[in-house]
Structure 1
Amino acid sequence: MTEPAATELPWWHGTTIYHVYPRSFADGNGDGIGDLRGLIDRLDHVTDLGFDTLWLSPFFTSPQHDFGYDVSDYRAVAPEYGTLDDADELIAACHERGLRIVFDLVLNHTSEQHPWFRESRRSRTNDKADWYVWRDGKGRYGRRPPNNWRSSLEVRSAWQWSPERRQWYLASFLPWQPDLNWRSPDVRRAMFDMARFWLDRGVDGFRLDLFGTVMKDAEFRNNPLHLVTGGGDIPHLWRRVHNENTDDNFALARELRSVTDDVAPPDRVLLGEVFGSSATVRRYLGDHDGLHLVFLFEFLAFRYDARFVRDRISAYESAFPAPTQPTYVVENHDQTRSIDRLGGDLRKARVLAVLLLTLRGVACVYQGQELGQPNTYIPLRDAQDPIVREFFSWVPEVIARRLRRRINRDEMRTPMPWDASPGHGFCPPETVPWLPISAVPGRDVASQRAVPGSLLNLYRRLLRLRGEVRALRHGELRLVPDMPADVLAYERSAPTERYAVYANFGDRVARVQLTSAGDSVLGTDEAISLTGRDLRLPQHSATVVRLR
């Protein structure tokens, strides 16, 4: 398939996204909590690296039980983060730098402290009685849950009892995050108006939190018992056929797309947090009339293995042929830091960086990933993460420390280390940050900026190369066959140029022959050598080659 000209492509096609968790990025007022002012002051870090788009986790008014993902006012800024004027200034500051900005939008649920829910649970007859998902229970006095639906973590029922209404309300994630009833025309109207409120202020689109669970089965049928793994989600015992990825949810994607397309200018983006197989999540794109992009969380749960990565690329190329785009991510605010999953090996982190920023599609990088920032161990007894408090406080610390998949999300949300000074440039030296700051020597922005071969500078070189080379940003991708078991290779091509990427995942030096002669334009190891078509790759190294 011939790629369209770059001028014909939407801005999000092949964009690179930098994900900021605002509470931990930069503290602008000295209270130990990151805020919008701190982000504005540090915005040049994002543009200097070469990213195109900023994704900002929620900063709306919230009781902060889930640090912003429990919204109590969608149109206001939480006081600890700033003001509405600060949000407007941030949008303007991004656009002045040529940076797009995407807000995190929680459509599935609100906080139980949202005025809508406070009114809804007062009675069965008030004006907002049907704004949330309410059901009568089973058994005597209705004190058994209406069906077998479980919360996202599968630990408990998703249903919560309300003595005020003597009914159950649905909370698909945490007990105090009641699910909105999107079958109510009033809810739809209110939520679409809220989206327009931010679009009119200039935001370039939304990352849609837990979008796959918004529309549930209208008949509230039980889910079948069946162990399900994969799709980038945690294993669960029930197939969530009635409360996740329903046909009505795919239809909602198209309806939300029409809302964003109707706002001038219409070049906004919708990026869905959805779980499932490639074929399932592809349905959210519709016939180019649904969401623009969806995360591919099977890649987030990566194995550092050439065959695994090759198989995933092959599957995504099949499910998301051009002009659709796969969206690659290896870290976020909910998952163990990638450097920890790589055993702390920076060579492997460099290989991942090369792949992430040279594959066809959209690349997403979480703050600190460019530094090789590790998890910061925090005992469960000190956790602020509500998942620990609600579900896992009973886990013995000796077991919690050994788990590969961390259950305390605080550990991957610790503040950004800007330098090696007291406070690490995140907050004043005398201020206690809201979470402890990772203090690994050399893993801060200032230190790595001064080292040409640092991981930070590798990200900068890759982003610059991606921005300059059309084949890497918008070109076709072809996997190169017949490689050694530990080597992954693919070519990226545009009408006037061809590039190839070779990565050695093995513990031994690999020697491969290129499809044609070329020149190495970027490598992760000084010992990489290319003579004619003969390429020598040291263990855990990668190179980008311009083919002649």
Structure 2
Amino acid sequence: MSAPQGWWREAVVYEVYVRSFADSDGDGVGDLPGITSRLPYLRDLGVDALWITPFYPSPQHDHGYDVADYCAVDPRFGSLEDLDTLLDTAHGLGLRVIVDLVPNHTSSEHPWFVEALAAPPGSPARSRYLFRTGRGAGAEEPPNNWESVFGGPAWTRVEGTDQWYLHLFDSTQPDLDWRNPEVAQMFEGVLQFWLDRGVDGFRVDVAHGLFKEESLRDQDRPEEPDAGDAPREIVERTLADEPMWDQPEVHEVYRSWRRLVDDYSDEHGTDRMVVAEAWTQTPESMARFVRPDELHQSFNFSWLLADWSAPAFAEVVRGTLAAMAPVDASPTWVLSNHDVVRHPTRYGGGARGLARARAATLVMLALPGSCYLYQGEELGLEEVDVAPEHRQDPSWFRTGEVGRDGCRVPMPWSGQEPPYGFGPPGSTPWIPQPADWGGLTVEAQRADPGSTWSFYQRALAARHRHARGAGPVELIAAPAEWGADVLAFRRGSLGVVLNCGEVPVPLPTGRLLVASGDSDPGVLAPDHAVWLELPQGSSGPSSISL
């Protein structure tokens, strides 16, 4: 197994949404050469690695998460040679590169699924996917009551037959049957293909979804529970019945992948890693994915899902660290990604939402483990209200509800009008950019020491100097003058204070290292956070106990 000091254990990883990062050829869609041209920017920002969303051949019904060929590059994004150039350039700049892997489903245009549709029921070709006979008279009803993540039934009928196929996402993304050994063999080959080209790791999409309960039974979906006199939190802790997610068989897949990746790392003298996107229901179930013989990391969505509240954040920190400790895994922290509303908007939007976003980011960067950033958050970008005629998320077409397009609007790099340097002048980005983004561009913010970009650069530099290897987290009991909505902890001499309340609070004695925004000396304003270098042997004010 990899040494516990692996580079990924305390890395800051920057997610690049390939379609929206940088367009080199003016077709309105980001591409690999565009990413390569901006790699010095990522080095200057201060991140350690980048994660690139899928760039494989795909009909793009779900923007690359419907893969038609796992061992090639979609021509709209470039070529394998462009990918090699990107890897070489990144490594020359000291950056690691993680690529997306999509093992739960393929595109409906993948050769396997095309073959399956042409083959009869019960054939070897169909056994790679989950085909079943429909229920009811004439097989008119789906085989079970499962629903797609994107809305509507999770089954589509094969026209003119009694057979249906499972797709937990869009109908163009049929789920693979991981009980078929051919599937596992294929993906081990995919891992080896990209490891041979020099990638440093993989992000596993829907890592909790590969296996379903073998019976494919109905999901128990009771109506909204009647809480009666029970406290609300007790009702909410009832775990959902999920026969399609987080099945025990998935862990043997990841044990085999860990052996493959570790053997490869030892053979080539490199340190490769795998991080799971596993939306599990508890910290304990998340920890099962990162046991010593399984994956290296798993995304911790508890931080992202927490309310703006010091007690809520403290509970996430306690629960995460407690779950990771028995398996000696490094925790991860994330506030935004390409699937969720950007966190300045989640925190209320406008100046207050941005202040809270910067404060939460500063606290996150002080915690042990790895942090995953999403492109554009260093600019303070908010969710964009994309006009209906420009929306492209498959969930929009299935449900009519606003999907994820608002967090995927292309990056603004320079200038006062679209495309803001995302592509050549006169090009049209695949999703329109707002007309008022001129002050938010990288060019504008790099010249402003008070900008969000400058704050991120300072915070990332401070993390390298003060937080890496700083020791365990010790939560601080708040003194009376702080009230109930202040989160404070220390890691050795590093002290961190976050004010989620409505009034300023006094700060402990210590040298200011970095702040999320301006406050009066000696106090911390609402919606702000600071790092302090505490005097050696000090626990701050006498009312603070560690």
Give the TM-score of the pair, scaled to structure 2.
0.89
2:373 match: 365
Q: How do 1:42-441 residues align onto structure 2 when only pairs under 5 Å count?
A: 42-124=38-120, 126-153=123-150, 155-163=151-159, 166-226=162-222, 239-264=240-265, 265=268, 267-275=271-279, 276-286=281-291, 288-321=292-325, 323-342=328-347, 343-344=349-350, 345=352, 346-392=354-400, 407-422=402-417, 423-438=419-434, 439-441=436-438
1:543 match: 530
Deviation larger for 21-30 or 291-300 = 291-300
Number of positions where the alignment pairs a residue of Structure 1 with one of Structure 2: 509
2:285 and 2:329 map into 1 onto residues whose CA distance is 15
1:398 match: none
Q: Report SS of the residue matched to 1:211.
A: coil
Alpha carbons 1:333, 1:413 under 8 Å: kept: yes
2:228 match: none
Q: Report SS of the residue matched to 1:500.
A: strand
CA shift at 1:302, angstroms? Answer: 3.0
Amino acid corresponding to residue 14 of structure 1 in structure 2: E
Q: Report SS of the residue matched to 1:245.
A: coil
1:480 and 1:324 map into 2 onto residues whose CA distance is 24
Which runs of 5 or more structure 2 residues have no equivalent in the other structure? 226-235, 536-546
CA shift at 1:27, angstroms? Answer: 0.6
* 1:389-419, Cα deviation, whole Å (9 max, x unpaired): 1221xx5xxxxxxxxxxx3211110010001
Amino acid corresponding to residue 465 of structure 2 in structure 1: E
Alpha carbons 2:23, 2:30 under 8 Å: kept: yes
Using the aligned pairs only, state the percent identity: 36
CA shift at 1:328, angstroms? Answer: 0.9
Alpha carbons 2:335, 2:361 under 8 Å: kept: no
Q: Report SS of the residue matched to 2:13.
A: strand
Alpha carbons 1:227, 1:237 under 8 Å: kept: no
Q: Report SS of the residue matched to 2:189.
A: helix
2:231 match: none
Amino acid corresponding to residue 339 of structure 1 in structure 2: P
1:85 and 1:127 map into 2 onto residues whose CA distance is 35
Q: Report SS of the residue matched to 2:497.
A: strand
CA shift at 1:70, angstroms? Answer: 0.5
CA shift at 1:14, angstroms? Answer: 1.0
2:289 and 2:223 map into 1 onto residues whose CA distance is 24
Q: Report SS of the residue matched to 2:489.
A: strand
CA shift at 1:169, angstroms? Answer: 0.9
1:130 and 1:525 map into 2 onto residues whose CA distance is 57
Q: How do 1:481-496 residues align onto structure 2 when only pairs under 5 Å count?
A: 481-483=477-479, 484=482, 485-493=484-492
Amino acid corresponding to residue 269 of structure 1 in structure 2: M
Alpha carbons 1:54, 1:102 under 8 Å: kept: yes
Alpha carbons 1:490, 1:501 under 8 Å: kept: yes
* 1:41-89, Cα deviation, whole Å (9 max, x unpaired): 0111111111011000111000011110001011111111000111111
Amino acid corresponding to residue 305 of structure 1 in structure 2: S
1:431 and 1:542 map into 2 onto residues whose CA distance is 40
2:40 and 2:237 map into 1 onto residues whose CA distance is 42
CA shift at 1:8, angstroms? Answer: 5.8
CA shift at 1:237, angstroms? Answer: 12
Q: Report SS of the residue matched to 1:285.
A: coil
Alpha carbons 1:478, 1:491 under 8 Å: kept: yes
CA shift at 1:480, angstroms? Answer: 0.8
CA shift at 1:236, angstroms? Answer: 13
CA shift at 1:269, angstroms? Answer: 1.3
Alpha carbons 2:18, 2:52 under 8 Å: kept: yes
Alpha carbons 2:416, 2:439 under 8 Å: kept: no
2:241 and 2:441 map into 1 onto residues whose CA distance is 42
1:335 and 1:474 map into 2 onto residues whose CA distance is 31
Alpha carbons 2:275, 2:295 under 8 Å: kept: yes
Alpha carbons 1:472, 1:492 under 8 Å: kept: no
Q: CA RMSD in A?
A: 2.2
CA shift at 1:126, angstroms? Answer: 5.0
Alpha carbons 2:221, 2:241 under 8 Å: kept: no
Deviation larger for 428-437 or 78-87 = 428-437
Alpha carbons 1:55, 1:207 under 8 Å: kept: yes
1:504 match: 499
CA gap of 1:387–1:237, structure 2 versus 1, over 3 A, is: farther
2:449 and 2:528 map into 1 onto residues whose CA distance is 17
* 1:437-464, Cα deviation, whole Å (9 max, x unpaired): 2333421111110111211111111111
* 1:196-222, Cα deviation, whole Å (9 max, x unpaired): 100111111111111111111122222
Alpha carbons 1:302, 1:330 under 8 Å: kept: no
Alpha carbons 2:362, 2:459 under 8 Å: kept: yes
2:514 equivalent to 1:518: no
2:233 match: none
1:403 match: none
CA gap of 1:236–1:304, structure 2 versus 1, over 3 A, is: closer
1:170 and 1:13 map into 2 onto residues whose CA distance is 36
Q: Report SS of the residue matched to 1:253.
A: helix
2:440 match: 443
Q: Report SS of the residue matched to 2:289.
A: helix
* 1:278-337, Cα deviation, whole Å (9 max, x unpaired): 111111112x11111111212212322212111111111211128322211111111111
Q: Which has the higher strand share?
A: 1
Alpha carbons 2:23, 2:29 under 8 Å: kept: yes
Alpha carbons 1:478, 1:492 under 8 Å: kept: yes
CA gap of 1:336–1:213, structure 2 versus 1, over 3 A, is: same
Alpha carbons 2:11, 2:371 under 8 Å: kept: yes
Deviation larger for 88-97 or 379-388 = 379-388
* 1:245-274, Cα deviation, whole Å (9 max, x unpaired): 011122322222222222234621111111
1:253 and 1:336 map into 2 onto residues whose CA distance is 30
Amino acid corresponding to residue 336 of structure 2 in structure 1: E
* 1:491-531, Cα deviation, whole Å (9 max, x unpaired): 113xxxx211111122311114x3xx4211112334343xx
Alpha carbons 2:336, 2:374 under 8 Å: kept: yes
Which runs of 5 or more structure 1 residues have no equivalent in the other structure? 1-6, 230-234, 396-406, 530-534
Amino acid corresponding to residue 219 of structure 2 in structure 1: N
CA shift at 1:539, angstroms? Answer: 2.3
1:492 and 1:238 map into 2 onto residues whose CA distance is 34
CA shift at 1:166, angstroms? Answer: 3.6
Give the TM-score of the pair, scaled to structure 1.
0.88
